[in-house]
Amino acid sequence: MTQSSQKDRVVIFDTTLRDGEQSPGATMSHFEKLEIAELLDEMGVDIIEAGFPIASEGDFNAVREIARLAKTSVICGLARANYGDIDRCWDAVKHAQKPRIHTFIGTSPLHRAIPNLNTDEMAERIHETVTHARNLCDNVQWSPMDATRTETDYLCRVVEIAIKAGATTINIPDTVGYTAPVESSELISMLIENVPGADDVVFATHCHNDLGMATANSLAAVAGGARQIECTINGLGERAGNTALEEVVMAMKVRGDIMPYYTGIDTTKLMNISRRVATVSGFPVQFNKSIVGKNAFAHESGIHQDGMLKNAKTFEIMRPEDVGLAATNLVMGKHSGRAALRSKLEELGYSLGDNQLKDVFVRFKALADRKKEVFDDDLIALMRAGEDAENDRLVLKSLKVLCGTEGPQSADMTLLIDGTEVSTRAIGDGPVDAAFNAVKALHGHTARLQLYQVHAVTEGTDAQATVTVRMEEAGTITTGESADTDTVVASVKAYINALNRLLMRQDQIGQDKKAISYKDVS
């Protein structure tokens, strides 16, 4: 690699497991976090921010385990600007071949008011905490939270302090998604020009998407001299989310003519990891989402299809294969065998052991019996519907609903709860309401339904319905998902899936001595 190409290399810092997971309802289990970290590592992500170790035992254990297992990525943990956080973070990441401590403090006037520090006191705190982190680890990232709303002079002052104290990466967060591309670029170039020691560190950009400009702002920051982009898969993250990894990576790849930068990401793995993150976080990808949306490469109108048949480039600026989308949507059916199913699932990014395949094959056959043609999207829905099954405390055994123009609609239901069979009949305002009431009668809970969403997976009246249900109880939010050709069955399974996740999450919280937010500044 030549000297000039090295300077155009943009480091990808993925924070799906930290900033992404902080999104209400996106909580992932320990094993889901390990799986996503492995996929990020394999895809060529340079730095994985694996969590916020002081937040809870669960976060600490996940970061420590990811640090132990990572093969090539740097493993980073988040810490507020105090010794307790930094020590805990180091304890978790020190097992990595390449560890990093990321410490931060809010520097804008609004954020300075939270710990009630004046500018000099805050400057002192930054000096002490970055020095402490650097004494533990030779790879230290420092972030002035809400940098884009921090006074320019003060920002230059604190960045210089952090560099002198030993920070090796300076991240400039647009915490509330307030900046715009021109400003984002100018801020980074201003810091590089004016702060002594700036040439010795990497500048990073960390954008939130509140005004829909996170991707543009991140790329503009790179044009201004940043060489690390912080991002998440599918743009997962609090409020409107973070910069989407797949968008910045593909933008630099496709428009290398005007953005001559490159990353180490294997883009053919994007689709698979996007699906996995959507499944484990319970945040479905919107159909028209750039790069990884279901419609991103679909051409339906006659004029588009005609153009595509003559030359794919007419309407495609990148090839579906480049992002890991199978070139064909080979239809499967009830005569398809186990080997064909295995190879199709591998193409879709699922590699299964023999026992898992056995279980999926049974469910595939049941689906193929009800549905003549089984498409890729059906198989993806089938795989998603099978998640968590092993640890489920509630299982749907049978359901019969009475619906139609004459009320009341009713549901006869049998559930297995911790292995014991229980049955009831409930009525409701429509079959879904009746069925949800039956679940509630069998397993009393105070969880509130926040979202109930139904989508047809494919076309036709025999299409599977995928249902997403989000529940909230005492501040804990979980999302459940399921698919079935019967919409009411899919709804009940999704509801039960959300409840199972809630029970699992409550167990985890019970085990954690404390669970704090990174915003509780101390």
Residue numbers of the site for ligand KIV (CB under 6 A)? 19, 104, 143, 145, 173, 175, 206, 208, 518
Residue closer to ligand KIV (CB basis): 62 or 207: 207
Q: Which does 350 bind (CB under 5 to 8 A by kind): ligand KIV, Zn ion, none?
A: none
Instruction: Compute the Cα dihedral for 450, 240, 266, 331 and give only its sign.
Output: positive
CB of 289 to Zn ion, least distance (A): 20
Residue closer to Zn ion (CB basis): 19 or 481: 19
Q: Which does 145 bind (CB under 5 to 8 A by kind): ligand KIV, Zn ion, none?
A: ligand KIV
CB of 177 to Zn ion, least distance (A): 9
For the chain, how big is the Rg over CA atoms in Å? 25
CB of 217 to Zn ion, least distance (A): 13
CB of 350 to Zn ion, least distance (A): 31
Residue closer to ligand KIV (CB basis): 242 or 437: 242
Tokens of 427: 């009525």
Whether the Cβ atoms of residue 396 and residue 492 lie closer than 8 Å to each other: yes
Q: Which does 482 bind (CB under 5 to 8 A by kind): Zn ion, ligand KIV, none?
A: none
> What's the chain's length in residues?
522
Q: Which does 500 bind (CB under 5 to 8 A by kind): ligand KIV, Zn ion, none?
A: none
What gap in Å lies between CA 191 and CA 176, rounded to an integer?
A: 20
Q: Which residues bind Zn ion (CB under 5 A)?
A: 19
* Beta-sheet strands, E only, within 4-98: 11-14, 47-51, 74-80
Residue closer to ligand KIV (CB basis): 139 or 175: 175
Q: What angle do CA 254, 260, 261 make, to 5 degrees?
A: 85
The H or E element spanning position 487 is: helix 487-511
Max Cα distance, the chain (Å): 77
CB of 518 to ligand KIV, least distance (A): 6
Residue closer to ligand KIV (CB basis): 207 or 435: 207
Residue closer to ligand KIV (CB basis): 158 or 415: 158
CB of 426 to Zn ion, least distance (A): 43
The H or E element spanning position 416 is: strand 409-417
Residue type present at position 294: K
What gap in Å lies between CA 8 and CA 6, rounded to an integer?
A: 5
Residue closer to ligand KIV (CB basis): 88 or 371: 88
How do strand 465-473 and strand 476-484 relate by DSSP bridges? antiparallel
* Beta-sheet strands, E only, within 202-315: 202-207, 228-231
CB of 242 to Zn ion, least distance (A): 6
CB of 230 to Zn ion, least distance (A): 7
Residue nearest to Zn ion (CB): 19
Residue 105's Cβ-count burial label (10 Å; 0-12, 13-18, 19+) is: buried
CA distances 145 to 103, 190, 316, Å, are 10, 18, 39
Residue closer to ligand KIV (CB basis): 141 or 267: 141
Q: Which does 464 bind (CB under 5 to 8 A by kind): ligand KIV, Zn ion, none?
A: none
CB of 277 to ligand KIV, least distance (A): 18
Whether the Cβ atoms of residue 215 and residue 232 lie closer than 8 Å to each other: no
Q: b/e string for 360-372 if b means 16 or more Cβ within 10 A?
A: bbeebeebbeebe
Residue closer to ligand KIV (CB basis): 173 or 241: 173
